[in-house]
Amino acid sequence: MRKFPGLIVGSAIVLAGCNLSSDLSSTQRLGFVNITQVGEGDTAKLNVVGQFFQSSPSIQPTIPNTASVGDTCAVFDYQGPPDNPGPVKVDNLNAGDTITITTDKAVGKLVPVMNLAGSVDYRLVGGPLAFTPGSQVSVNIPGDSGGFPAHSVNVKTFVTPTFAPIERHPDQDLDLNWSSGGAPLGAMQLDFLYSNTEAVSPNKEMLCRLRDDGNYTIPRFIVGGEWASSPDDAQSVSGIRWNTTLQQNQDVLLDVIVQVQLPSLPLTAPDTTTAALRAPATL
């Protein structure tokens, strides 16, 4: 799945989207803590990964920032799931021996672990942490005088949103409605897969980056053609709810990213009449 610049997803939390040109200075010290929610209710857990490194001419990552997200949708050819780019070698900074993550149910420790690129990630000891969706999580970074300085930040986790069924074959604009995350600067990313032929394998995707305010209308000129006429079996929608908390002081930037994956969003019932018309004739 292609991603808009600015949203980093997965274990390579920062460098999967790095480029060679940016406004970051070579003295910029960067810290990223990625908090990913899995499960719901009593089974909800947090996965947490941290990276701390020095910017350089060859390492210029995109800085995830939900405050900059507007309401936009764009259509691409779908090439299938992306390859995992894996970790990238960076000039690591020491952020302390142990970073503490505290939820309403558990306390976890992030410790330095060497990755396949020969760089250091901070990873949880003992596996994911229990938490209550919607509660706060505190991140305490002890820091190092010669590396990444000490920081303490509180962030709020998400309740998984509920979506009204998304229209498969709209004849006008496509209205989206969901339960808002409550964070004033939160964002949603939605990925629509579909086919512009009679094939049931998707060959097109529409990516939407939206403010997490609970509603958006995709204009008819974007959605009223290929999505609206796609075979039902080729259609699916997935998403990510995410929010960032940035702390920046002189040449130090910390970005804490909270996200929850939405692997399958509800669609309206298949159009059996249209499906029958599309079915190949039998002799």
The answer, as to whether pTM is greater than 0.75, is yes
The pLDDT tens digits of the residues spanning 134-178 come to 999 999 999 998 899 999 999 999 999 999 999 999 989 999 999
Residue 114 domain boundaries? 15-263
The per-residue pLDDT for 22 is 46
148-162 burial by CB neighbour count: b if 16+ within 10 A, else e? bbebeeebbbbbbbe
Pairing of strands 99-102, 236-249: unpaired
Residue 274 covered by a domain: no
CB-CB contact of 55 with 32 (8 Å): no
Please report whether residue 3 resides in a domain. no
- For residue 282, being part of any structural domain is answered with no
- Whether the per-residue pLDDT at 41 is higher than 90: the answer is no
Q: Is residue 5 part of a domain?
A: no
User: CA distances (Å), 7 to each of 58, 69, 243, in order?
Assistant: 20, 10, 10
For 179-215, write each residue's pLDDT tens digit. Answer: 987 767 899 999 999 999 998 999 999 999 999 999 9
SS3 227: helix
Count structural domains, the chain: 1
Q: Would 277 be classed as within a structural domain?
A: no
Q: Is residue 271 part of a domain?
A: no
Question: Residue 176: what are its φ and ψ, rounded to 5°?
Answer: -110, 135
β partners of residue 30: 53, 253
